[in-house]
Amino acid sequence: MDFNFSEEQTMLRSTVRSFVDKEILPYIAEWDREGQFDPAVMQRLADLGLMGVCIPEEYGGSGMDYNSLAIVCEELERGDTAFRTSVSVHTGLNSMTLLQWGTEEQKQKYLVPQAKGEKVGAYGLTEPGAGSDVASLQSTAIKDGDHYILNGSKSWISLCDTADHFLVFAYTDKEKHHKGISAFIVERNWEGFDSKATKGKLGIRSGNTGEIFFDHVKVPKENLLGEEGEGFKIAMAALDNGRFTVAAGAVGQIRACLEASVKYANERETFGKPIGKHQLVQQMIARMKAGLEMSSLLVYRAGELKNEGTRNTEETSMAKWQACDFANKAADDAVQVHGAYGYSDEYPVERYLRNSKAPVIYEGTREVHTLMQAGYALGYREDKPLNKMLPAWEENKARV
């Protein structure tokens, strides 16, 4: 596997980095303190072509490879987890799922405007009583002529108040357990749809997260994604892409922790020398560096497998699990390196610590990934190619 970055990828990284330096970092402490989500940032990301980085040009995207998406997520999370989360749900969980499973009509109608950044997509799987245990979801979509009638609610949905299109998972046949779940593309402006933001979050405060509600929403049958009963499989395949973006973001979070800690450790003095000269501080710095390098390699390996069109559930799960754990630990260490100053929002590290917790919970908790990896090691789990795979990058390029 070749982990060297192309000239195009290096330019992409520097574009996103300067965007973050100019458009996010000067304002983020205040946005975070005020719990303010600024949708204009999404518009500026769209103007830079960052809302559809790895979507083929034919479908309105930038046609770059999957590791370019990782670069965008890494650099955005250096600014704040909220913006990387937005790209994760919009591109990773929604647009890439449409690319993989959508009909040509669905791609033209929904994927193209999303990849251009004219419309925003989100992902509605979790419910008040169904998180890790997806099959216990209660939402239903009952066929009625040319429509399905969708009822239920979803909780903890990123971009709940701002997205235009939602991928929603609901039972079309409860008797069949997880094989009775189907996936639908749902528009915000349909009658019976409502949303409400959740207040009082530990982190990602400048992001928009909350509930969405469906009260007899009429979903045209053309908006069924895949076949009836394929919803569980589609939801899990979507997570292969969402988790990849979360892992990449965690790499950016670790880098931000390391950079802030190195700077502080070289400035702050105790006992007549910079704290960076104390071995126990060095241990924390070294742990961040190790986490950064290991996480990067895991992420780029998963990205290369996506580029090749190979199934990568196992490798993506490992990258997501390890990178998020490393990021959470790095943020904890970064606050420790900063001492009491790390405990105030005068420095960014307390925000890193609060933000680093959700990624250990969403898109498969730490425990879910631990169980998955044990399952692979013990021979209880094995992945076969899906009936519709995410297209390899070569295929995407050929579509220009």
Ligand X SMILES: Cc1cc2nc3c(=O)[nH]c(=O)nc-3n(C[C@H](O)[C@H](O)[C@H](O)COP(=O)(O)OP(=O)(O)OC[C@H]3O[C@@H](n4cnc5c(N)ncnc54)[C@H](O)[C@@H]3O)c2cc1C
User: Which residues does the annotation mark as catalytic?
Assistant: 363
The neighbouring-strand residues paired with 142 are 149
Of 197 and 371, which has the nearer Cβ to ligand X? 371
Beta-strand ranges (E) seen in 295-376 are: none
The two most distant CA atoms of the chain are separated, in Å, by: 79
Q: How far apart are CA 65 and CA 144, in angstroms?
A: 41
The number of angstroms, rounded, from the C-alpha of 386 to the middle of its chain's C-alpha atoms is: 22
Of 214 and 362, which has the nearer Cβ to ligand X? 362
Q: How far apart are CA 187 and CA 217, in angstroms?
A: 10
Q: Which residues would be at the binding site for ligand X (CB under 6 A)?
A: 89, 123-126, 131-133, 156-158, 204, 209, 358, 361-363, 365, 367-368, 371
Count other C-beta atoms under 10 Å from residue 370's C-beta: 14
Of 65 and 230, which has the nearer Cβ to ligand X? 230
Q: How far apart are CA 275 and CA 280, in angstroms?
A: 9
Q: How far is the CB of 33 from ligand X (least distance, A)?
A: 18
Name the residue number minimizing CB distance to ligand X.
131
Cβ pair 312, 305 in contact under 8 A: yes
Of 101 and 123, which has the nearer Cβ to ligand X? 123
Q: How far is the CB of 177 from ligand X (least distance, A)?
A: 16
> Which amino acid belongs to residue 30?
E
Q: How far is the CB of 243 from ligand X (least distance, A)?
A: 11
Measure CA of the first residue to CA of the last residue in the chain; give whole Å. Answer: 25
Cβ pair 51, 91 in contact under 8 A: yes
Of 184 and 300, which has the nearer Cβ to ligand X? 184
Q: How far is the CB of 386 from ligand X (least distance, A)?
A: 20
Of 82 and 265, which has the nearer Cβ to ligand X? 82
Q: How far apart are CA 156 and CA 154, in angstroms?
A: 7
Cβ pair 54, 61 in contact under 8 A: yes
Of the candidates 136, 138, 157, 140, which has an alpha carbon nearest to the alpha carbon of residue 149? Answer: 140
Of 204 and 237, which has the nearer Cβ to ligand X? 204
Q: How far apart are CA 361 and CA 357, in angstroms?
A: 7
DSSP state of 252: H
DSSP state of 131: S
Cβ pair 156, 86 in contact under 8 A: no
